[in-house]
């Protein structure tokens, strides 16, 4: 009886297994294999060499790219967390009607009606040398030279990340905040806690899982990104994604594959650490 | 160190709806007061206003004769025990109990020592390091009680503290609550919808309905002389009867009579002059161990219930479909003060 039940379960899981095998596992294996191939300017040569990894892991360019990437990831994480926690806290504890909460959430998702790229490009007329911000500041007499760090800079990249990914922080944190029993807040107030102490002792510890799930989203998105750096960084700064992208445009597929494998390993290690801090099954 | 509580024209309105309507109440220090009423009667709102978790629309709350209406819960010297206990799930029992002292700025060693003493008081020392989810309902309640008592409140507020427990545990915890209140000499204000609980615990029972106090006093006084048909219905064991030209002509207005004060006799029996009588048809007879529960219907359709001791049950007379005479001593009739 249970054996046949088991067999049925495997049948039911098989379509998804096949899809994942074909579109996730197989490409990763191919990337892994290609990363050991040799190449010259116009062709790929099947081989088993470690040159790609040797070059990648000793090059100062790689180190710089990883430092940049971690810096972007940290800054994006920090600001999305600050904004996401504040927004989620406001939605969960200061808006009491479910209807108003739903409307506020819809407003938060409006930017998602357009693509990532459009949302990034729309910063350009705002932040450019003759953009809205510079011209307003100039005409207000606050500055007499246009600010050049606004666009095509690390600032612009982090700004775009925060704009793109804050909602990924808001949703899981809001979700765990909504599960906090309101009488816990009252119990803390009853014990004499002020608003800050309630936040520190009750709300933050009990939103921890939401904070970690949101951090996982933002970290993985930023670590694997290259479009934002390309558009907002203006070719001045490079992260790991940009490095891989450049190698692909030069048809150096084996080098790009090695870069991808190392990046994947890095992100997986980060995830292992983050998943240790949260029981993900409890959140689903 | 007990505190007296006085409510003066206390009112709470939500969006034009009045939840508590100008109630006046004086709770002496060191007493066990039960706020009793059906759900939605305003008893919990009243408790939460005394605790400081609910704003007051109008009126005043006095603790030990100082007006605390606009003070925070801690400044009032009250402590509340919540209906679902509201223990912090991420803290151990010791840290839960010590939380009030942490806020008060005591060092870790100091507050843990005080918490351990308090856990001793509620017999929970061996569970100090567990998380609340590892405890049973009754154990969680003891932790919640210890947490409420740690800051030495003058008034302890309990919001339906026993409703989450099973019946056996409920009676046991009820005893312990009363014992603790007596030993510490604190004022306890306890919200419940169970008249049995209120009668067992209270020195002062307050029956509420629709945001007003219907009656307050010692439970025995309330049971002997309910002040209104609502109270008589709510506390149970009473028949509320409305006289009209055909039946009960001897009474001027609605009155109540305790179900255990009714006797049943054959329809033609002569009864002494001091007794009132009315004819009825028996609908149902139920055996309930200590007594028989007899349901009867008067000629005008009013339902009457009697609790008849086994010894007084004449099986030939008291049987379904039988026409009988219900009788009671006229002195046992409770007339409501204001006819409604």
The per-residue DSSP string of B204-260 comes to: EEEEEETTEEEEEE-HHHHHHS-SSHHHHHHH-SEEEE---SSS-TT-SS-EEEEGG
Q: What are the pLDDT digits (tens) for B64-104?
A: 888 999 888 888 989 999 988 999 999 999 999 999 999 99
Residue B75, SS3 per DSSP? helix
Residues B220 and B266 in one domain: no
Q: What are the pLDDT digits (tens) for B323-336?
A: 888 888 888 888 88
Q: Report the predicted TM-score, pTM, of the whole model to 2 decimal places.
A: 0.83
By residue range, what is the domain housing residue A68? 51-283
Q: Is residue A58 part of a domain?
A: yes
Residues B49 and B30 in one domain: yes
Q: Do B74 and A202 touch (CB under 8 A)?
A: no
Residues B52 and B13 in one domain: yes
A168: domain CATH number? 1.10.3720.10
Q: Is residue B168 part of a domain?
A: yes
A30-33 CB contacts, 8 Å cutoff, 24+ apart: A31/A257, A31/A260, A31/A261, A32/A257, A32/A261
Q: Is residue A45 part of a domain?
A: no
Final residue belonging to a domain, choices B185, B216, B233: B233
Residues B33 and B176 in one domain: yes
**Chain A 201-240, residues with CB within 8 Å of chain B CB atoms:** 201-202, 205-206
Residues of B in contact with A186 (CB under 8 A): 53, 80, 82, 86
**Chain B 63-92, residues with CB within 8 Å of chain A CB atoms:** 72-74, 79-80, 82-84, 86-90
Q: Which residues contact A55 (CB under 8 A, 6 or more apart)?
A: A255
Q: Is residue B61 part of a domain?
A: yes
Final residue belonging to a domain, choices B171, B203, B233: B233
B27: domain CATH number? 3.40.50.300
Over its C-alpha atoms, chain B yields an Rg (Å, rounded) of 24
- Chain A residue with the nearest C-alpha to that of B153: A191
- Which neighbouring-strand residues pair with B13? B18
Minimum-distance CB partner of A192 among B74, B80, B84? B74
Residue B59, SS3 per DSSP? strand
Minimum-distance CB partner of A184 among B51, B52, B86? B86
By residue range, what is the domain housing residue B211? 5-233
ipTM: 0.82
One DSSP character per residue, B108-167 reads HHHHHHHHHHHHHHTT-GGGTTS-GGGS-HHHHHHHHHHHHHTT--SEEEEESTTTTS-H
In chain B, the number of structural domains is 2
Q: What is the DSSP letter of A235?
A: T
Residues B274 and B316 in one domain: yes
- Residue pointed to by tokens 């508590």: B20
Q: Do B51 and A188 touch (CB under 8 A)?
A: no
Residues B147 and B256 in one domain: no
Q: Is residue A115 part of a domain?
A: yes
Q: Is residue A14 part of a domain?
A: no
Q: Is residue A229 part of a domain?
A: yes
Confidence of residue B116 (pLDDT cuts 50, 70, 90): very high
User: What does pLDDT average to over chain A?
Assistant: 90
Residues B131 and B277 in one domain: no
One DSSP character per residue, B262-301 reads -EEEETT----TTEEEEEEEEEEEEEETTEEEEEEEETTS
Q: Is residue B151 part of a domain?
A: yes
Residues B19 and B142 in one domain: yes
In chain A, the number of structural domains is 1
Q: Which two tokens stand for residue A166?
A: 């804050």
Q: Is residue B340 part of a domain?
A: no
Residues B222 and B253 in one domain: no
| Predicted confidence (pLDDT) at residue A40 exceeds the cutoff of 80 | yes
Task: Tell me the C-alpha distance between B248 and B138, whole Å.
Answer: 49
Beta strands at B255-258 and B238-241: parallel, antiparallel or unpaired: antiparallel
Q: Is residue A4 part of a domain?
A: no
| Predicted confidence (pLDDT) at residue A3 exceeds the cutoff of 70 | no
Between the alpha carbon of residue B202 and those of residues B102, B127, B157, B187, B318, the distances in Å are 33, 30, 13, 11, 37
Residues B306 and B228 in one domain: no
Final residue belonging to a domain, choices B197, B216, B233: B233
Q: Do B90 and A205 touch (CB under 8 A)?
A: yes
The pLDDT of residue A284 is 58
Torsion of CA B96, B101, B107, B113, to 10 degrees: -70
Confidence of residue B249 (pLDDT cuts 50, 70, 90): low
* Chain A interface includes B291 (CB < 8 A): no
Q: Is residue B278 part of a domain?
A: yes
* Chain B interface includes A187 (CB < 8 A): yes
Instruction: Check if the beta carbon of residue B332 is closer than 8 Å to that of residue B258.
Output: yes
Minimum-distance CB partner of A183 among B82, B104, B147? B82
- Chain A residue with the nearest C-alpha to that of B144: A187
| Predicted confidence (pLDDT) at residue A279 exceeds the cutoff of 50 | yes
Residues B228 and B313 in one domain: no
Q: Do B86 and A187 touch (CB under 8 A)?
A: yes
| Predicted confidence (pLDDT) at residue B41 exceeds the cutoff of 60 | yes
Residue B49, SS3 per DSSP? helix
CA pseudo-torsion sign B214, B217, B222, B226: negative
Q: Do B88 and A191 touch (CB under 8 A)?
A: no
Q: What are the pLDDT digits (tens) for A196-253?
A: 999 999 999 999 999 999 999 999 999 999 989 998 988 778 899 999 999 999 889 9
| Predicted confidence (pLDDT) at residue B339 exceeds the cutoff of 60 | no
- Chain A residue with the nearest C-alpha to that of B73: A190
Between the alpha carbon of residue A97 and those of residues A86, A90, A93, B12, the distances in Å are 18, 12, 10, 20
Minimum-distance CB partner of B100 among A181, A183, A192? A192
* Chain A interface includes B336 (CB < 8 A): no
- Chain B residue with the nearest C-alpha to that of A184: B86
Residues B62 and B47 in one domain: yes
């Amino acid at each position: 009886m249970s054996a046949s039940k088991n067999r049925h379960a495997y049948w039911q899981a098989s379509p998804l297994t096949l899809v994942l095998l074909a579109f996730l596992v197989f490409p990763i294996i191919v990337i892994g294999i290609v990363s050991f191939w040799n190449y010259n300017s116009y062709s790929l040569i099947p081989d088993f060499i470690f040159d790609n990894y040797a070059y990648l892991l000793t090059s100062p360019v790689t180190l710089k790219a990883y430092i940049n990437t971690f810096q972007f990831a940290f800054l994006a994480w920090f600001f999305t967390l600050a904004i996401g926690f504040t927004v989620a806290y406001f939605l969960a504890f200061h808006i009491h009607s479910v209807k108003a909460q739903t409307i506020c959430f819809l407003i938060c998702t409006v930017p998602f009606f357009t693509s990532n790229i459009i949302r990034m490009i729309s910063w350009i007329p705002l932040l450019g040398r003759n953009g809205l911000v510079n011209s307003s500041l100039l005409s207000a007499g606050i500055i007499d030279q246009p600010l050049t760090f606004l666009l095509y800079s690390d600032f612009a990249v982090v700004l775009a990340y925060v704009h793109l990914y804050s909602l990924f922080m808001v949703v899981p944190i809001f979700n765990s905040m909504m599960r906090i029993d309101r009488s816990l807040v009252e119990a803390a107030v009853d014990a004499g806690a002020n608003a800050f102490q309630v936040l520190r002792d009750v709300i933050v510890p009990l939103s921890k899982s939401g904070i970690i799930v949101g951090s996982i989203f933002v970290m993985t998105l930023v670590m694997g990104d290259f479009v934002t750096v390309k558009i907002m960084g203006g070719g001045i700064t490079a992260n790991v994604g940009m490095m891989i992208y450049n190698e692909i445009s030069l048809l150096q597929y084996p080098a790009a594959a090695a870069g991808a494998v190392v990046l994947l390993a890095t992100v997986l290690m980060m995830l292992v650490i983050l998943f240790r801090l949260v029981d993900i099954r409890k959140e689903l | 160190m007990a505190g007296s509580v006085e409510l003066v024209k206390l009112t709470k309105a939500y969006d034009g709806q009045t939840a508590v309507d100008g109630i006046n109440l004086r709770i002496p220090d060191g007493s066990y007061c039960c706020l009793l009423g059906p759900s939605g009667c305003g008893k919990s709102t009243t408790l939460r206003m005394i605790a400081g978790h609910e704003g007051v629309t109008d009126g005043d709350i006095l603790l030990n004769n100082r007006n605390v209406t606009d003070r925070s819960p801690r400044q009032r010297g009250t402590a509340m025990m919540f209906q679902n206990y509201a223990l912090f799930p991420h803290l151990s029992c010791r840290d839960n109990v010590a939380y009030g002292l942490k806020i008060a700025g005591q060092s870790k060693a100091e507050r843990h020592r005080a918490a351990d003493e308090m856990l001793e008081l509620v017999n929970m020392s061996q569970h100090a390091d567990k998380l609340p989810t590892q405890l049973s309902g009754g154990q969680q309640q003891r932790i919640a009680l210890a947490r409420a008592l740690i800051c030495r409140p003058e008034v302890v507020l309990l919001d339906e503290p026993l409703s989450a427990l099973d019946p056996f545990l409920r009676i046991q915890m009820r005893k312990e609550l009363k014992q603790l209140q007596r030993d510490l000499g604190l004022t306890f204000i306890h919200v419940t919808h169970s008249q049995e609980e209120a009668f067992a615990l209270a020195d002062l029972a307050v029956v509420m309905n629709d945001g007003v106090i219907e009656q307050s006093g010692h439970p025995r006084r309330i049971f002997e002389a309910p002040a209104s048909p609502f109270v008589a219905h709510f506390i149970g064991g009473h028949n509320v009867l409305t006289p009209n030209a055909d039946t009960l002509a001897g009474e001027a207005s609605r009155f109540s009579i305790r179900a255990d004060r009714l006797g049943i006799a054959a329809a033609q029996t002569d009864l002494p002059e001091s007794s009132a009588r009315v004819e009825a048809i028996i609908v149902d007879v139920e055996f309930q161990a200590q007594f028989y529960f007899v349901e009867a219907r008067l000629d005008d359709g009013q339902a009457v219930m009697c609790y008849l001791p086994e010894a007084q049950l004449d099986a030939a007379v008291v049987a379904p479909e039988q026409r009988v005479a219900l009788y009671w001593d006229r002195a046992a009739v409770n007339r409501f003060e204001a006819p409604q």
